[in-house]
Amino acid sequence: MTTAATTPDTERRPKSDARGWLWAGSGLLALIVCSYFLVDRPLATFAHENLWPWRRAFDVLTHIIDPLPSLAGLVLLWTMGVVARGRPIGPVLADLARAAGGLCCAIVVKDQLKYAFGRTWPETWINGNPSFFRDGAYGFVPFHGGPGWFAFPSGHATTICAAAAAASILWPRGRPFYALATILVAIGLIGADYHWLSDIIAGGALGTAFGLSAALIGRNV
C-alpha cells in the first residue's frame, strides 16, 4: 500500500521540477531581455550622473563577496584532506562542501559565459576598455575575449547568490542575513556603475541555480 501510494508522487516529481526550472528560466530570460532594452542604459545613466560622488561607498558594498571564493577553496581542500585520511566527513563538513562546491562551479561557468557573451561595460575602468559612457559601446561581441568584454554575467552577483542560495537551504535560520548581503552587493554594483542591471540578473540567476543544486545533492527533498 505504501509503495503504491508514494510511487506516483515520486514519478511526478522530476517532471514537476523540470517544468518549474523551465518556467523560471524562461521568465528570467524575458526579464534580462527587457532590462537590456528598457532599463540598463537609463539606470546606468542615473548612477553615472547622480551617484558618482558616493562611488567609494558603493564600492565598499561590492567587497562583501571577497572572502567567499577563498573560503570555498579552503573548505574543499579540507574536505579532500579528510577523505584522503579515510575519515568520515560528517554532516557539518558535508554541508560546507556542498556550498563550497556550488560556489566554485558557478564561478567557473560564469567565466566561460563572460567570454562567450563578450559584453562591454558601462564605464571605462579596465585598461582603457571601450564603454558606454566614453565610447557609446553597448552590446555583445561574442567570444571577443579580454577584460573589456567581460561584463555579462556579473561575477559579484553570481558569487553572492550562489553562497546565499546554498546557505538558505543548508542553514535556513540565516535567510534574512543572506538576503540582506545579496541586496547590498547588488546596490553596490549599480551605485558604483560597475554593471548593467541585466548583468546582475543573469549572474544572480546563475549563482542561485548552482547554489540550490549543490545544496540539495544527497538530500531528500
When divided into structural domains, the chain yields a total of 1
The answer to whether residue 6 sits within a structural domain is no
Q: What is the pLDDT of residues 97-116, one digit of tens each?
A: 999 999 999 999 999 999 99
Residue 4 counted as domain residue? no
Q: What grid cell was written down for 32?
A: 534580462
CA–CA gap between residue 176 and residue 204 (Å, rounded) = 17
pLDDT in tens, 65-84: 999 999 999 999 999 999 99
Look at residue 20 and tell me if it is in a domain: yes
State whether residue 121 is helix, strand or coil: strand
- Domain membership of residue 199 as a residue range: 12-215
- Grid cell listed for 93: 563538513
pLDDT tens, residue by residue, 34-63: 999 999 999 999 999 999 999 999 999 999
Half-sphere exposure (CA, 13 Å, Cβ side) for 54?
13
pTM of the model: 0.91
Phi, psi dihedrals of residue 140, rounded to the nearest 5°: -120, 140
**Is position 1 within any domain?**
no
CA atoms within 13 A on the CB side of 34: 7
HSE of 211 in the Cβ direction (CA atoms, 13 Å)?
Answer: 25
Torsion, CA 210, CA 211, CA 217, CA 219, rounded to 10: -150
